[in-house]
Structure 1
Amino acid sequence: MSDELVIRQVWPVPRGHSVLSPFEASEDFEQVCWQANEAIAASPSDLFYTFTTAGQQVARLIVVDHPDLDPGYDVLEAAEGLEIDIMEVASGYRRQGLGTQAIELLRRQHPGRTVFARPPESEDAFWQSLGWDLVRHAQNGDYPPLFLKR
Structure 2
Amino acid sequence: MSDELVIRQVWPAPHGRSVISPFEASEDFTQACWQASEVIAASPSDLFYSFTRAGEEIVRMIAVDHPEVDSGYGVPDAGEGLEIDFLEVADGYRRQGFGTQAIGLLRRQHPGRIMFARPPESEDAFWQSLGWDHLRNARGGDNPPLFLSR
TM over 0.5: yes
**What residue is the counterpart of 2:27 in the other structure?**
27
Other structure's SS at 1:107 match: helix
Structure 1: gaps (5+ residues) = none
**What residue is the counterpart of 2:54 in the other structure?**
54
Task: Give 1:139 deviation, angstroms.
Answer: 2.0
Task: Give 1:37 deviation, angstroms.
Answer: 1.8
Other structure's SS at 2:10 match: strand
Q: TM-score, normalised by structure 1?
A: 0.98
- Distance in 2 (alpha carbons) for counterparts of 1:28 and 1:142: 32
- Distance in 1 (alpha carbons) for counterparts of 2:148 and 2:136: 11
Task: Give 1:57 deviation, angstroms.
Answer: 0.2
- Distance in 1 (alpha carbons) for counterparts of 2:8 and 2:77: 25
Alignment root-mean-square deviation, CA = 0.8
- Distance in 2 (alpha carbons) for counterparts of 1:107 and 1:148: 13
Deviant stretches of 4+, over 6 Å: none
Cα deviations across residues 54-74 of structure 1 (Å, max 9, x unaligned)? 111000000000000111111
- Distance in 1 (alpha carbons) for counterparts of 2:142 and 2:29: 30
- Distance in 2 (alpha carbons) for counterparts of 1:28 and 1:16: 26
Structure 2: gaps (5+ residues) = none
- Distance in 2 (alpha carbons) for counterparts of 1:42 and 1:142: 23
- Distance in 1 (alpha carbons) for counterparts of 2:54 and 2:13: 24
Other structure's SS at 2:77 match: helix
Give runs of aligned pairs for residues 1-150 of structure 1, distance below 5 A: 1-150=1-150
- Distance in 2 (alpha carbons) for counterparts of 1:24 and 1:38: 10
- Distance in 2 (alpha carbons) for counterparts of 1:142 and 1:135: 14
Identity of aligned residues (%): 75
Count of equivalent residues: 150
Cα deviations across residues 41-97 of structure 1 (Å, max 9, x unaligned)? 000000000000111100000000000011111111110000011110000100100
- Distance in 2 (alpha carbons) for counterparts of 1:124 and 1:31: 19
Q: TM-score, normalised by structure 2?
A: 0.98
